[in-house]
Amino acid sequence: MKQQLFTRSALQTILVIAGAVMVSLFGLSIGTQYDNKYITKAAPAQDQLYTIPEKGYCALVDGWEFYPDTLLSPADFSSGTHNYYSTWAGEYPNLAMFHEDKNPYGTSTWRMRLRGNGSVLLYLQEPLCAASVFVDGICLGVTGDVSPDSYSPLIKDNTYAFTIDGEAELIIQTANYSHYYGGIWYAPVIGDAESVSRLIAARMLLYGMLFFSSLTLSLFCIVLWERRENGKRTSTFYFGMLSLSFALRICYPFLRLSGVPFVRALYAVEDVAAISGIYFSMQIALLLFVPEPGAGAISRRLKKGLRALTMSACVVVAVVPLLVFPAVPGLVQWYGPLISWYKAIMAFFLISLSAYGGFMGFHYVKIVLAAAVASDVCLIYGVLSIGYYEPFIGAYPEEYGSFYMVIAFAFLMVQRSREMAAENGRLNLHLQEEVEEKTEHLRRLLTERGQLIAELGHDMKSPLTSLSNMAQIIRMNDIMLDDATHKRMIHIEEQCNVLSDRLKSIQEIASQTGAPAKMEPLLLNTFLSDFYHNCRPIIELYGPNVFADITPRPCYIMANREQLFRALENLLYNAADFTPPEGKITLSLTADESFAYIAVSDTGCGIPEEELPNIFRRSYTTRSDKGGQGLGLAITHTIVLEHAGRIEADSKEGEGSKFTICIPMVSSRTPF
């Protein structure tokens, strides 16, 4: 059966992976076909001119003249010719290949000749990292300062409006001493003002939706985690941080509109946000699909290794751009590809963890597995499609992949919340049923107690009346009584009156609904001392000596004084009945940190071991031949239970018995 379930889970996992790959490639192919600068680009004409459409827009991809390590002005081009490289936007990520030491930094000039008529709008995305734009010899604007002596970076998306009358010359000077990409990395867009404006608005709308949705999810999860998880790092916390890292990463188009001068810090934050998203995704997958209680040694080492690797990557992308690149610029050419392949490898691990969860049959793992596969496909597609795909409006493949992960984990959190809500509902229903069951149990217990009290009152009434009457007759007739005997007769009458009052109380209790007795704070040391001095003379009339051993440590309990007195009286009189005159009875009180222990021990005949389990049952007695009703210990047991305590019996036949009552203590500083 288990083998069949595993095979079924494995087949489903394979189908999910295949489906995710096909759906992802289909979606990416749609974007590549209909939202791609490398397809909708300026058409070449004669004499190395590129035509701008009268309506709509196109990307300036091909036809660039590239002049590395030089800043050429329009006047320089008018005065003579210069050597250049024919290139397309994005072919050279930086200037490393033009330098023997592989230094990626420097200046460059980009030139293109355009053909068209009318007013146009140029949308220049993020020229790296400073730029000056000229059209037909006129400077349309600058971003930062491109001069090597006064270099000042500024990352900003700009638009430039100008008019073309047949032909126009576009020159863009760039300088980069800050980032691992430089120059015209993103193809500019040109077209009529209305079309380009709609393009920019649509792009901002899409990124706004991605940003605010992920930010809302992150804030909701972080607040939920803070209120419910008590600071414990759970999947809720990591999902909130995943959404927050994606929000920080995806907000860059809005920052580019206003311009950011802190280039190194900006790109370091973006890289940290991207790598942190991988870290938080990995943490969620490890929590959900590799549970700690069931993890073996290999699984534990894998979890520690992945956590260490992803955390180290976060530190590297934070430190390297800020501290290492300024000192060792030659490393820049390896940084971008290294980060891309690290992302691809981590995506593979994420797919493996999700696949493992699918094989093991974890709930809702398929949506995470599908998102992980889609994210990996998007990441690899983004790396392999450099120079072939760049969107006009949509996000980049890697950004879509990260958003898939956010949506997948959001779906997972919603499903888990629904499961938890359903489980809470089921538990509440079960709790209600259990409360009803316990209530019924208590009702039966109280009813049984009332019956017990009624029987006890009935059994005591007749002998008590006879005893009282006989004592009164003897005393009143003065039948040759000495002073000691006369005092004892008076004492008997007094005790009969006490018992009569208790009998009335018993009858009243039996007629009530059996509500719990009122508890009040009680200093057990004083109570037991009074109890001992009150009962000792009566018990010693039977013969056994009574001793007390009460701890000096104050022992406070919540108790009903009268009921506890009756319970102890039952134990004491039972001990007296079974102890010979030469024996002894000991009343003791001890305590630990939480409980007080009241013990009544004797040196009597003891109780047979086979009868110990039954001695607290009502109507069970070991002396039926002497008229016992078997109520004393049952009453004591009930009273102890009402005091949230327990009673235990220890006895050896022929050596004596010991009854111990355990009652929880309360602090003397507790406000009563």
CA 93 to chain centre: 42
Q: Give the separation between CA 142 and CA 254, rounded to whole angstroms.
A: 19
Token pair 């499609």 is found at 385
pLDDT of residue 362 exceeding 70: no
Please say whether the beta carbons of 131 and 177 come within 8 A: no
Give the burial class of 557: count Cβ atoms within 10 A of its Cβ; 0-12 exposed, 13-18 middle, 19 or more buried.
buried
pLDDT at 22 exceeding the cut of 60: yes
- Span 211-228, average pLDDT: 83
3-state secondary structure of 394: coil
CA distance 31 to 60: 19
| Spatial distance between the Cα atoms of 177 and 256, rounded to a whole number of angstroms | 19
**Which residues have C-beta within 8 Å of that of residue 6, sequence separation ≥ 6?**
359, 361
Tokens linked to 404: 């898939």
Structure tokens at 65: 């003249």
Calpha distance 96→334 (Å, rounded): 10
Q: Check whether 513 has a pLDDT greater than 50.
A: no
pLDDT tens sequence across 163-203: 999 999 999 999 998 887 889 989 999 999 999 999 999 99
User: Facing residues of 557 across strands?
Assistant: 522, 665
User: At residue 98, does pLDDT exceed 60?
Assistant: yes
Candidate from 146-160, 453-467, 539-553, 571-585 with smallest mean pLDDT:
453-467
More confident residue, 295 or 614: 614
Region 268-276: what's the mean pLDDT?
A: 87
Q: Are 392 and 189 in contact (CB under 8 A)?
A: yes
Mean pLDDT in residue range 237-242:
84
Greater confidence (175 vs 449) lies with: 175
Whether residue 5 is predicted with pLDDT greater than 60 in this model: the reply is: no
Left, alpha or beta for 56 (phi > 0: left; psi -120 to 50: alpha)? left
CB-based contact 209:387 (threshold 8 Å) = no
State whether residue 591 is helix, strand or coil: strand
364 contact partners, CB below 8 Å, separation of at least 6: 411, 412, 415, 416
Inter-helix orientation angle 397-477/632-642, to 10°: 140
Q: Both tokens of residue 631? A: 């109520």
pLDDT digits (tens, 9 = 90+) for 557-611: 999 998 899 889 889 888 888 888 888 999 999 999 889 999 999 998 888 888 8
Contact of 26 with 160, CB cutoff 8 Å: no
Beta bridge partners of 117: 165
Structural Rg of the chain based on CA atoms: 46
Nearest to 140 by CA among 189, 74, 93: 74
Least confident segment among 321-330, 506-515, 540-549, 615-624: 506-515
Residue 146 is which amino acid? V
Confidence band for 432, pLDDT divided at 50, 70 and 90: confident
pTM score, whole prediction: 0.63
pLDDT at 103 over 50: yes
State pLDDT tens for residues 32-70.
999 999 999 998 887 789 999 989 999 999 999 999 999
Output 537 or 1, whichever has higher pLDDT.
537
Phi/psi of residue 647, nearest 5 degrees = -125, 140
Q: Is the pLDDT of residue 671 over 60?
A: no
* More confident: 146 or 387: 146
- Cα 651 vs. chain centroid, distance in angstroms? 53
pLDDT at 229: 63
Q: How far apart are CA 180 and CA 267, in angstroms?
A: 10
By DSSP bridging, strand 656-664 and strand 158-176 are unpaired
What does each C-alpha distance from 54 to 57, 64, 203, 656 come to in angstroms?
A: 8, 21, 22, 114
Q: Per-domain residue ranges for the chain?
A: 2-35+201-414, 43-191, 415-515, 517-672
Count other Cβ atoms within 10 Å, centred on residue 30.
11
* Choice among 158-172, 194-208, 273-287, 413-427 with the minimum mean pLDDT: 413-427
What element of type H or E holds 172? Answer: strand 158-176
In CATH terms, the superfamily for domain 517-672 is Histidine kinase-like ATPase, C-terminal domain (3.30.565.10)
Predicted confidence band of residue 461 (pLDDT cuts 50, 70, 90): low
pLDDT of residue 514: 52
Q: Is the peptide bond before 605 cis (omega within 30 degrees of 0)?
A: no
Half-sphere exposure of 448 (CA within 13 A, CB side): 15
Q: What is the largest CA-CA distance in the chain?
A: 155
DSSP 549-565: EE-SS--EEEE-HHHHH
Q: State how far the Cα of 421 lies from the Cα of 198, in Å rounded to an integer.
A: 45
pLDDT given for residue 557 in this prediction = 93
Q: What is the mean pLDDT of the chain?
A: 83
CA distance 195 to 175: 30
Q: Is the bond preceding residue 129 a cis peptide, omega within 30 degrees?
A: yes
Asked if the model's pLDDT at residue 72 lies above 80, the reply is yes
Question: Would the pLDDT of 345 be above 70?
Answer: yes
d(CA 232, CA 237): 8
- Distance from C-alpha of 504 to C-alpha of 487, rounded to nearest angstrom: 26
pLDDT-wise least confident of 54-58, 443-447, 525-529: 443-447
In the prediction, which pLDDT does 512 show?
Answer: 44
**Residue 363's pLDDT band (cuts 50, 70, 90):** low
> How far is 235 from 515, CA to CA, in rounded Å?
48
CA atoms of 211 and 133, how far apart (whole Å)? 31
Query: Does the domain formed by 2-35+201-414 have CATH 1.20.1070?
Result: yes
Instruction: List alpha helices for 519-560, DSSP H.
Output: 524-540
- DSSP characters for 343-374? HHHHHHHHHHHHHHHHHTT-TTHHHHHHHHHH
- pLDDT > 60? residue 74: yes
The residue-averaged pLDDT of 632-645 equals 85
- Token pair belonging to 195: 């079309």
Closest CA relative to residue 446, chosen from 502, 504, 509, 503 = 509
**What's the token pair of residue 261?**
């001068």
Q: Please report which helix (H) or strand (E) contains residue 489, including its range.
A: helix 483-511
616: Cβ contacts below 8 Å, ≥ 6 apart: 633, 634, 636, 637, 647, 649
**Residue 332 pLDDT > 80:** no
For CA atoms 623, 627, 631, 633, the dihedral sign is negative
Return the pLDDT at 364. Answer: 66
CATH ID of 43-191, from 3.60.110.10, 3.40.250.10, 2.60.120.260, 3.40.50.300? 2.60.120.260
536 Cβ contact partners less than 8 Å away, ≥ 6 residues apart: 546
Give the helix/strand (H/E) hosting 17. Answer: helix 2-34
Does 181 or 452 have the greater pLDDT score?
181
pLDDT of residue 392: 93
Confidence of residue 14 (pLDDT cuts 50, 70, 90): confident
Place of tokens 């939202």: 35
Binning pLDDT at 50, 70 and 90, where does residue 481 land? Answer: low
Lowest mean pLDDT among 93-97, 131-135, 500-504, 582-586: 500-504
The strand pairing partners of 518, in sequence order, are: none
pLDDT attached to residue 626: 47
Where do the H-state alpha helices sit in 251-331?
Answer: 252-258, 263-289, 297-319, 325-327
